[in-house]
Amino acid sequence: MRFFYMALYLVLAPFLGGLLAGLDRKLSARMQGRKGPPLFQPFYDLFKLFNKQAVVVNNVQDFLVVGFLIFIIFTGCLFFFGGDLLLVFFALTLAGIFYMMSACSANSPYSSMGAQRELMQMMAYEPMVLLVAIGFYVSTGSFSVSDIVRSEISNIAYLPGIFFGFLYILTIKLRKSPFDLSTSHHAHQEMVKGVTTEQSGGILALIELSHWYENVFLMGVVGLFIVNADWRSYLVALPVCFLTYFIEILVDNVFARVKWEVMLKSAWVVTLIAGVINLLILNLI
């Protein structure tokens, strides 16, 4: 059964991720009083990128982008296989490092600036990601995803603060405003496309595909707070994931971008208040 879930992720994640991207564009357009593109527009754009000639900056950049895709896929496969949550988040961090280094390898001021901001974003969300793994261990006694999903009750009952903290840094991971500092999926980035400025054609398509895989994995982590040994919890987890994604889209269209100092301080404050206090209370009871 574990291999079945992993295979489902490999096959269905690009399709689900593309649908989430299309839904993002459609809902954002509606919130702005526009009709918006078709729901399947991200797929059309992806195929168009694969058919375009890529302007190769250097071979190192291509290697790093492929590494980013591989580690993102590995992260999701390990998660849905029911593996160790610490290893899952370690692989996710390693994928982020590959992504940042791919921008550093290009001799472009916009790309370099995007890489620096990407590093700042990693510094902002990594402490909370680590607390998520620790919180699940404290509440269940195991880092294994397969053990966590067999809990008697949903872990959100024990980890409401950590759940809130994860939702907060999820805005950074999804590159939504007000924390879309390194790059943006919409045309409101002040430094062209930031991290992806020097990437084009098939390489840019691989990055977009990686984000689709990553977004599905992140929604899986949201669902992990909800699911338990009762199969009906999965029916609850699905609308919670979609509601979470809708809230992220709403935040993206309501708030203006902030400076990196505000992002870093606010993420650490939320981590300390929501995450650490939640762990302390959990240890006391």
- Looking at residue 188, what is its pLDDT? 54
Nearest to 180 by CA among 162, 165, 164, 196: 196
- Provide the pLDDT for residue 184: 67
**Cα dihedral 161, 89, 68, 112 in deg (nearest 10):** 60
Rounded-to-integer distance, Cα 269 and Cα 68, Å: 29
Position 169 scores a pLDDT of: 96
Determine the structural domain holding residue 53 and report its residue range: 2-284
* Count of domains for the chain: 1
Q: Are 168 and 158 in contact (CB under 8 A)?
A: no
Please tell me the pTM assigned to this model: 0.94
Instruction: List, for residues 129-145, the tens digit of each pLDDT value.
Output: 999 999 999 999 999 99
Mean pLDDT per 10-residue run, the chain (285 residues)?
A: 89 96 93 90 93 76 91 96 95 94 80 86 95 95 94 95 96 90 65 72 91 96 96 94 96 88 94 94 84
Residue 283: both structure tokens together: 């240890």
